[in-house]
Amino acid sequence: MKLLVGLGNPGSQYEGNRHNIGFMAVDAIAREHGISQFRSKHAGLLAEGTVAGEKVLLLKPQTFMNRSGDSVQQVTKFFKIEPADVIVFYDELDLAPGKVRVKVGGGNGGHNGLRSIDPQIGLNYKRVRLGIGHPGKEFVTQHVLGDFAKADREWLDPLLEGLAKHAGMLLKGDDSGFMNKLALLGKTEEPPKAAPKAQSHIRQARPARPQAEMPKTGPMADMLKKLLGGE
């Protein structure tokens, strides 16, 4: 069994925040794979279902971001889930909006959700970093706690749909394949270039120049008659 954790803050006032893209990711997976019922349990909202033939638990901790580890630890302990079977989705300031990176272990990068999870279950879990862009150090708080703009939906909706559709690749350990699939979102193939026209090896004849009409009367006509031997 795998545990898929989305990080965010509970409450309708935070629902559309960039900091809640982890919740959005888990919700998208639930919709895509017909997992409909979340129950309040283990300090979070928990649902059970199947993704790509594998049994999974979906968790949205309700402890606020900086105590996310409390809920994750409770679920892993109760269901006896190893850290290697935990996948965490969260917002990443140091990635451009829409970019996705997957890694196992490593530092928390200053993310309060990971900072809470690490000491409770260890570092050997999979992290799915979902880029939201960096606004500059002085604007970080209002950026992460601000809602996605309407224009963001152009990349956010396809990202969440693609993430949910290809979640099975994460479960099977094909992290590179998963990232490649998402990297292709929004890209279209360039139209094929027209083949160059075949060069003809036959030189076309130039059009004949129009000939000047001979004058029939007048001094010029008389002169030409004399030159040509006419009367």
C-alpha–C-alpha distance, residues 12 and 15, integer Å: 5
Q: Which of 88, 112, 104, 96 is nearest to 183 (CA)?
A: 96
pLDDT score at 83: 97
pLDDT for 226 equals 56
**Does 19 qualify as catalytic in the annotation?**
yes
As a whole number of angstroms, the distance between CA 45 and CA 71 comes to: 9
- Residues in CB range of 165: below 8 A, 6 or more apart: 32
pLDDT interval class at 7 (50, 70, 90): very high
Inter-residue contact 57 to 46 (CB < 8 Å): yes
pLDDT digits (tens, 9 = 90+) for 65-111: 999 999 999 999 999 999 999 999 999 999 999 999 999 999 999 99
Q: How far apart are CA 31 and CA 116, in angstroms?
A: 28
From the list 19, 33, 42, 166, the catalytic residue is: 19
Cα 143 to its chain centre, rounded Å, is: 20
pLDDT classification of 190: cutoffs 50, 70, 90:
very low
Domains of the chain by start residue, with CATH = 2-183 (3.40.50.1470)
pTM beyond 0.85: no
Amino acid at 175: D
Instruction: Write out 4-35 in H/E/C secondary structure.
Output: EEECCCCCHHHCCEHHHHHHHHHHHHHHHCCC
pLDDT at 189 (0 to 100)? 41
